[in-house]
Structure 1
Amino acid sequence: MTDSERLNVTEGAPAPSNDPPPVKPVEPDAGDCCGQGCVPCIFDFYEEALTQYYEALAAWKERHPGQSPD
């Protein structure tokens, strides 16, 4: 274990190699929707996943200040 990993463990934060940034969900194509008015629609699932992604990204940025998720 490196000193930086030990420091992160000591502080209670996961090491960066063990805490990758979240992955943005892929937006469905318009053709992925059947157009039947389904509830929930595939786009509803996407919106929910996108909200979860932004929440996870904000938490990740708090754990890794000054780092870019890219």
Structure 2
Amino acid sequence: MDDDPKPQPPVEPDALDCCGEGCVPCIHDIHEQAMERYRKALAAWLARHPEATG
């Protein structure tokens, strides 16, 4: 059992998921925020697992 699984990137929204009405935040903004959290989590995970290759 792996107590420290590698973070997985968030699912990218489909272009049709955006309504195009200028929502704040837009689904694409939410995805970018999730990607930033993922990048940070992945960097921390890689620091804990130097044997892994991104």
Task: With the length of structure 2 as denominator, give the TM-score of the two structures.
Answer: 0.92
The structure richer in helix per residue is 1
Q: Where do 4+ consecutive residues of structure 1 move more than 4 Å?
A: none
Higher Cα radius of gyration = 1
Aligned 1:1-70 pairs, distance under 5 A: 17-68=2-53
What do you get for the CA RMSD once the two structures are aligned? 1.4
Report the Cα distance in structure 2 between the residues aligned to 1:46 and 1:33, rounded to whole angstroms.
11
Task: With the length of structure 1 as denominator, give the TM-score of the two structures.
Answer: 0.72
What percentage of residue pairs aligned between the two structures are identical? 57
Q: Point out where structure 1 has 5 or more consecutive residues left out of the alignment.
A: 1-15
The residue type equivalent to 2:34 in the other structure is A
Q: Report 1 or 2 for greater relative contact order, CA contacts < 8 Å, sequence distance ≥ 6.
A: 2
Q: Point out where structure 2 has 5 or more consecutive residues left out of the alignment.
A: none
SS of the residue corresponding to residue 29 of structure 2 reads helix
Give the number of aligned pairs. 54
